[in-house]
Structure 1
Amino acid sequence: LFGLRRDTDILSRAARSAYLNPLTLPDTYRGTPAEAIAALRAGIQRAERRIAEYRASIEHLREMRIHHLRHLLWRVRASHTLADTIARYGRLRYTYLVSGWVPTALVPRLQDSVSRVSDQVVIEVGSPRDVGVEGADVPVALNNPPFLRAFQGLVTNYGQPRYGELDPTPVLALTFPLVFGIMFGDVGHGVVLALIGLLVTSRRVRFLRGLASLGPILVACGAAAVIFGFLYGSIFGYEDVLTAIWLRPLEDVMDILIYTIVIGVVLLSIGILYSIANAALDKEWGEMLFGRNGVAGLIFYWSLVGLAVGIFAQKSPISTDVLFGLAAVSGVAVAFSELLVRVLERRSPMIEGSLGTYLMQAFFELFETVISLLSNTLSYVRMGAFAVAHGGLSLVVFILADIFSPEHGLVYWVIVALGNLFVIGFEGLIVGIQTLRLEYYEFFSKFFSGTGLRHHPLTLIAREEE
């Protein structure tokens, strides 16, 4: 606002009525606006020089004190950990009673380390059974080789194995790349995926360091995709460069769907065998023999598969009568598994509730088992479907490239390159999710409880990590 000095009060009231706040210019600067701006810039430069000097001084002080400060920080954290731990255990006047869990393989190392610190320590080692702790309450420390650690992360993401339960990491390290490779079979795409995995594992790219644990999985899946790429005769979507060793999903649709069902039967059978082994380790003999995922359940499943093969293929290596008999006997065992377990374990009463209610319950148990086995098996058809979709999506890329550049010029190759990158990124992600789903919901559900407790050891942070 501009006005005469004598109108200052009028202008001030008008500004306040319009909710304008006055801004008073400081009296520090004199002269013209240009001179004031120059003075401000000079002041800013002086302040920046002082800031640079302070930063240099701080950096020099940091270099001088960094090791000492790190050592102090380590001592503080270590002392806090020890004090918190000591407060959790019993204490007499001169004695502490410390108890905890240690992996069996590390017991000698613990005894040696403690004995070197003091000779006034008594160490008593016992098994969970000795201290009266059930298997479900015993913590578990997985100890897989380094090349399996990434797949171990997938297992613990689902759940922790119980004490005495088989660790599914080794079998997952085989089945996960297998299932992925079937759905993503292409030599070129597999090589690119494996190279990305190596790059992620190397931790050279800063924004990819958070994915370093997935690097070995990408390498394994890429290698599996390369193998199936040779089997399919596909490289970067080209189907006429390599000779298919096995089949071509786009041309042999029914064959690939049938083969994936067979693979699904094999994987589900492995899952049930794992369940039988876990039941044996837990000494749950009734569940091992008569359970849905026990011996009776496996025979029932194989019998149904044999009958299905006989119906659709019009031939079977085993007589239909034999298969019907096996299915009937094992099906009855599964339906009345609870009763058979009670008989085996000599528990009473053998039947809870009325006989009619129990028979109805047994019928629905068998019906649910049949539906579950059927749905689990058919879920693996998606492997063949995605193998066909992978080839079809690659074909679409070449069709689009031909439409925009029939003469196969620069535009053609740009579209082909971008299309292949899209297939690798987008479909690779979708196939990875589907692979994880098959492993978690179809395979793991047969044998893996995931209800174990993770072992959290008492650990002092290493000094060099500080």
Structure 2
Amino acid sequence: MIEKMRFITITGPKAEFDRVVGTYLNKYEIHLENALSELSSVQDLKPFVETNPYKDIHAKALELADRFDNKQPVKATNMTLSEASTIILSASREMEDLTAGKKKLGVDREHLLELQKKIEPFRSLDYELDKIQDFKFIKYRFGRISREYYTKFSKFVYESLTTVFVECRNDADYVWGVYFVPASEAEKTDTIFSSLHFENISLASEYEGTPEQAYNSLVKKLEENQKSIDDINAEMKSRLSSRSDQVLNAYEHISVYSNNFDVRKMAALTTISKRNASYFILCGWITEESAPALLHDIDKDKNIYCLSEKDLASINSKPPTKLNNFKIFRPFEMFIKMYGLPAYNEMDPTLFVAITYSIIFGIMFGDVGQGLCLAIGGGLLYYFKKMPLAAIVSSAGVFSTIMGFMYGSIFGFEDVLPHIWLNPMENVMTVLLTAVAFGSGLIIIAMIINIVNGIKAKDVEKVFFDTNGAAGLVFYVMILVCVVLVATGNPMPAGIVLLVFLGIPLILIFLREPLSHLVEKKAEILPEQKGMFFVESFFELFEIVLSYLTNSISFLRVGAFAISHAAMMGVVMLFAGAHTGNPNILIVILGNIFVAGMEGLIVGIQVLRLEYYEMFSRFYRGTGKGFKPYKSK
């Protein structure tokens, strides 16, 4: 579910700002909003702009903390800002010689990488570079030319020039090479190459031997350079290891001061002329559950005031979304966040997704043995690694196990357990029709959720006239009733009943825009281009009617995968020789691993597709913004 929010405004003397941030924002979870934006109608507000005095010391502290694999101190220690600064400055001075050495090595490395980058395209040239540079009567140019111009050059220009072009490397865009030309012809040849957009690459005199030898020499120097840098890093870590807790505690304290100071970016200042004093204003969101405790604390704080607003209609910004579900359903929030968080006035679909995803997965992947493996493996992985996906796999595995009992399947063996419901391979049509019926039920639930969302958002069109509103729900349910009556050989309802339950909903959907305007008492009921409106509405209505059919049929895949899983395990049993009564255990094991891995992944993706495209698209927008309290920093 989505936690209820309350909008708060905290104000007090400017001199009390840092204390307020340290006391209240680090104690309570408050999602800050920009006060200038929220209070745009208030006059005489100005931004709270000051230079962060902790910026430099925080940068040094961060540089030192980065030397450790874990930035969390083993034992937390209380210290003042002065003590933390002294520790960081002392440690930084201790590192000055190593830092200077590392900086010089970094500059050298950049130079070596630049030399390597320049020479790399010419490695195939088998001639010593220093000899080329000693030429007196022959001029040379290293560089590259685009493939387009190189083709033209080769066909139409090359033969007429007194030059030799040696191609060294090429790719889809460029050709690298070097051309040689007599000194007397150099100016003319350079002009022609320039007109072909030949890009000169100047090679320094630092290269020795052939380009390949020079390149290998640079690789060796870079390796030596990296080793020196690693040695310095190790020495830095060694020097800091004895005081790691001191440094990390100091870093944490300075980070808190720096972060607290930066809250000024979200605050506003106002001046009360009578008192000639400046006051800060902070705005943000806090949960209904935490609001009373915050208000109680601030009530006892002299000169600090907090206003709480329950009526959110007058607030400029949208309330953030904080999901708060039972622990067993919390891993499924991952799927919700992938699609987009629900808006504050939407229903949280986490419970719906948790139940439907697990059930559909179980129907499509019903096997007692494989389901238990998924349930146990996913559970252990979640227990040790806290991976949400592992918990989802475990939950899906539980329902896979249940459906395995329903199908009477364990590791692909269909004759070990008696099936409680049916065998998919022997009841293909029953499985497919049940899947479509199950899918239709989920679509109806999705429509009901959409109507509830419309009521919460006070959206008349969404509630009554939308494809997934009341009109669409009546039409869809009536279609299902008619299909069931025809399939069971019962007579269809009377014409007047069909007209009321099929015709009227379609008319309401067709005219949903003008009807909504009429109910909301808007001045313009129909758009100006009425002809275009009716044409577009007709084709939209035709598409909507088709979508009801296609969306329902889409759930055939649920039954199809159940049959497919049974068929694939049947193939594994065939290869293992299970029909002889003495199956090859190795083939059974390998076959189960292959099917569980491949089909489990495919089924997981297909179920998520059904959730997103067949159900979410009917009721869910996912336009919410996450609740990001300052305390979490």
Q: 1:79 aligns with which of 241, 257, 266?
A: 257
Query: Which letter maps to 1:389?
Result: S
Instruction: Give the CA deviation at 1:219.
Output: 1.5
Secondary structure at 1:363's aligned position in 2? Answer: helix
The reply to whether residue 138 of structure 1 matches residue 319 of structure 2 is: yes
Going from structure 1 to structure 2, the CA distance change for 1:132 and 1:15 (only over 3 Å counts) comes to closer
**Aligned partners of 2:540, 2:239: CA distance in 1, in Å?**
74
Decide whether the 8 Å contact of 1:286 with 1:345 is kept in 2.
Answer: no
**Aligned partners of 2:491, 2:606: CA distance in 1, in Å?**
32
Decide whether the 8 Å contact of 1:290 with 1:296 is kept in 2.
Answer: yes
Give runs of aligned pairs for residues 421-432 of structure 1, distance below 5 A.
Answer: 421-432=593-604
The TM-score normalised by the length of structure 1 is: 0.80
Q: 1:322 aligns with which of 497, 511, 514?
A: 497
Give runs of aligned pairs for residues 270-285 of structure 1, distance below 5 A.
Answer: 270-285=445-460
Decide whether the 8 Å contact of 2:365 with 2:600 is kept in 1.
Answer: yes
Paired residue for 1:290? 465
Residue ranges of structure 2 left out of the alignment (5+ in a row): 1-127, 133-207, 214-230, 271-276
Give runs of aligned pairs for residues 237-316 of structure 1, distance below 5 A.
Answer: 237-315=412-490
**Aligned partners of 2:557, 2:240: CA distance in 1, in Å?**
62
Give runs of aligned pairs for residues 124-273 of structure 1, distance below 5 A.
Answer: 124-127=307-310, 129=312, 131-133=314-316, 137-203=318-384, 209=385, 212-273=387-448
Paired residue for 1:104? 288
Instruction: Give the CA deviation at 1:355.
Output: 4.1
Going from structure 1 to structure 2, the CA distance change for 1:330 and 1:91 (only over 3 Å counts) comes to same
Secondary structure at 1:300's aligned position in 2? Answer: helix
Between stretches 227-236 and 213-222, larger displacement belongs to: 213-222
Q: 2:627 aligns with which of 450, 455, 458?
A: 455
Instruction: Give the CA deviation at 1:456.
Output: 1.3
Paired residue for 2:58? none
Instruction: Give the CA deviation at 1:269.
Output: 0.5
Secondary structure at 1:459's aligned position in 2? Answer: helix
Residue ranges of structure 1 left out of the alignment (5+ in a row): 1-13, 24-50, 204-208, 462-466
Decide whether the 8 Å contact of 1:90 with 1:96 is kept in 2.
Answer: yes
Paired residue for 1:32? none
**Aligned partners of 1:278, 1:286: CA distance in 2, in Å?**
12
Decide whether the 8 Å contact of 1:230 with 1:242 is kept in 2.
Answer: yes
RMSD: 2.9
**Aligned partners of 1:15, 1:322: CA distance in 2, in Å?**
94
Instruction: Give the CA deviation at 1:440.
Output: 0.5
Query: Which letter maps to 1:452?
Result: G
Deviations 1:107-128 (A, max 9, x none): 1233345567x43310101135
Deviations 1:120-178 (A, max 9, x none): 310101135364336xx222111112222111111111011111111111111111101
Instruction: Give the CA deviation at 1:94.
Output: 4.5
Paired residue for 1:339? 514
Decide whether the 8 Å contact of 2:486 with 2:492 is kept in 1.
Answer: no
Instruction: Give the CA deviation at 1:61.
Output: 5.6
Decide whether the 8 Å contact of 1:310 with 1:320 is kept in 2.
Answer: no
**Aligned partners of 1:84, 1:15: CA distance in 2, in Å?**
56
Secondary structure at 1:240's aligned position in 2? Answer: coil
Instruction: Give the CA deviation at 1:445.
Output: 0.5
**Aligned partners of 2:496, 2:419: CA distance in 1, in Å?**
40
**Aligned partners of 1:169, 1:380: CA distance in 2, in Å?**
21
Secondary structure at 1:217's aligned position in 2? Answer: helix
Secondary structure at 2:286's aligned position in 1? Answer: coil
Going from structure 1 to structure 2, the CA distance change for 1:316 and 1:434 (only over 3 Å counts) comes to farther
Secondary structure at 1:156's aligned position in 2? Answer: helix
**Aligned partners of 2:346, 2:411: CA distance in 1, in Å?**
42
**Aligned partners of 2:358, 2:619: CA distance in 1, in Å?**
20
Deviations 1:416-463 (A, max 9, x none): 0011011111110000000000001111000001111112111255xx
Decide whether the 8 Å contact of 1:231 with 1:245 is kept in 2.
Answer: yes
Q: How many residues align?
A: 406
Between stretches 166-175 and 358-367, larger displacement belongs to: 358-367
**Aligned partners of 1:382, 1:66: CA distance in 2, in Å?**
58
Query: Which letter maps to 1:281?
Result: K
Paired residue for 1:70? 248
Paired residue for 1:5? none
Decide whether the 8 Å contact of 1:286 with 1:344 is kept in 2.
Answer: no
**Aligned partners of 2:506, 2:625: CA distance in 1, in Å?**
35
Deviations 1:290-341 (A, max 9, x none): 1111101100111111222233332269667624531111111111111221
**Aligned partners of 1:225, 1:131: CA distance in 2, in Å?**
49
**Aligned partners of 1:316, 1:236: CA distance in 2, in Å?**
46
Percent of matched pairs sharing the same residue = 33
Paired residue for 2:69? none
Secondary structure at 2:557's aligned position in 1? Answer: helix
The reply to whether residue 122 of structure 1 matches residue 294 of structure 2 is: no
Instruction: Give the CA deviation at 1:56.
Output: 11
**Aligned partners of 1:96, 1:240: CA distance in 2, in Å?**
76
Query: Which letter maps to 1:191?
Result: L
The reply to whether residue 415 of structure 1 matches residue 599 of structure 2 is: no
Decide whether the 8 Å contact of 2:362 with 2:402 is kept in 1.
Answer: yes
Going from structure 1 to structure 2, the CA distance change for 1:195 and 1:418 (only over 3 Å counts) comes to same
**Aligned partners of 1:274, 1:172: CA distance in 2, in Å?**
13
The TM-score normalised by the length of structure 2 is: 0.60
Give runs of aligned pairs for residues 353-392 of structure 1, distance below 5 A.
Answer: 353-392=528-567
Going from structure 1 to structure 2, the CA distance change for 1:362 and 1:61 (only over 3 Å counts) comes to closer
Paired residue for 1:444? 616
Query: Which letter maps to 1:255?
Result: T
Instruction: Give the CA deviation at 1:214.
Output: 1.4
Secondary structure at 1:167's aligned position in 2? Answer: coil
Structure with more of its chain in strand, by fraction: 2
Going from structure 1 to structure 2, the CA distance change for 1:232 and 1:138 (only over 3 Å counts) comes to same
Instruction: Give the CA deviation at 1:82.
Output: 1.1
Q: 1:397 aligns with which of 572, 577, 594?
A: 572
Decide whether the 8 Å contact of 1:232 with 1:248 is kept in 2.
Answer: yes
Decide whether the 8 Å contact of 2:450 with 2:462 is kept in 1.
Answer: no
Instruction: Give the CA deviation at 1:382.
Output: 0.3
Instruction: Give the CA deviation at 1:65.
Output: 2.2
Going from structure 1 to structure 2, the CA distance change for 1:113 and 1:430 (only over 3 Å counts) comes to farther
**Aligned partners of 1:143, 1:423: CA distance in 2, in Å?**
36
Deviations 1:363-385 (A, max 9, x none): 22221211111111111110000
